[in-house]
Structure 1
């Protein structure tokens, strides 16, 4: 297999994963590019300096900041440099750029301009947490950060309550207790989960417990560090005719959270033993109590 080289050539944009904790996890190709790229765009130039100092690398190219507050204006500068033949390296504080971090805007602009885009794979908090969680790894999805406002967060969780795949989230430590409490309420306190803290760092900790117990743990004291939460998918429910009213309630909850009726029906019907058509008809026939229209029940709008 031919080896990828990082020698001079046509301009390109390179997204490079950086260590999520242990600097020894830095891929050799990342270190080589940090020392040779014409432009290094870093989410935090101070964090970049700490990384390069620890790794014994001295950037020879221009180093500039590239974060959520300036990426809308600086992206054009990066693309122009690549169009001029430069190798432009994009790095964030930890993990892969564009995954809950700056980078997506640069990729889209580079592709539109005809600039070659490639990546240096490496450390990932998402995959590391999934592997350590002990939960199913064959099918999973990544939801990033949930909304900060309690009402919006609960609506987002309601839309995921019947998701059969293992789900991975990021969360700030000071919001973890509230997030887990909402999860326990919406998903059920017995749903299996894992809180992964400070992955690959000195004080790495992985707590594998039901969501309700994790919520109590987070509320009992101050939680510090980088947090990744992994939650088991919803168990398939074999429902009979007597269970249809409960399924209809779940459909209405998803619709209230912003999901289209047809999508909500498909999500709830999956693995329930009730056909999508039967559940759809039941949801349309059975209105959800509403305070609109003078207090009269309002049926969902077919979508």
Structure 2
């Protein structure tokens, strides 16, 4: 699901707006390294849905420096979420084919998402530029998403990653590429926007929301970000939902009994 290259790190993940940090061994986190939001496009329980993901990465110790480098993202979707990799055609191209051919290595109708990533090289000179962009394409695979990133500055640079699904958990490991510090000597993501449109084929959806909506009125999606310095931070995203409307019971009209007055005629 997430793509990187020496000049552009590209990733797809689900992130959130509520922050909690868990420092890794030998490292300490002093603030949130990422912010953003993710929402499903559907608010009804049990509905076919797409998703919209926007995230920014920053260095809380020194916002003027490039962000820290993330190398693993694990997304925990709420119980009851259904992923169906058979709901759309699948891409079976090898990584070698994808690195050479890019998007054209996969069937066009296996594409399920797209976006843009901005990476921060840490450069202070004209080349490479401080910020570079890569386009992202996400393809449906066998219980996975296959990410293909193409660098806008050097289109020949194409990278491939795989997001593996296990139940309601999606895990992506990132390769690291050289960069210029501080805070580390790698090339991190600066920002990322990815959209997955709702996809239904022959009645089957690639993603369905849980069958019920919590009383809170939102579903919680939890994402763990692990950085190269051992720090893991957890974010929560709230995706709005509403309970299914129950059909109103049929109300039978009560018929009032009318007493009919009779005229009694007295016969003398």
Structure (1 or 2) with the greater strand fraction? 2
Q: TM-score, normalised by structure 2?
A: 0.27
Structure (1 or 2) with the greater helix fraction? 1
Q: Which has the higher contact order (CA 8 A, sep 6+)?
A: 2
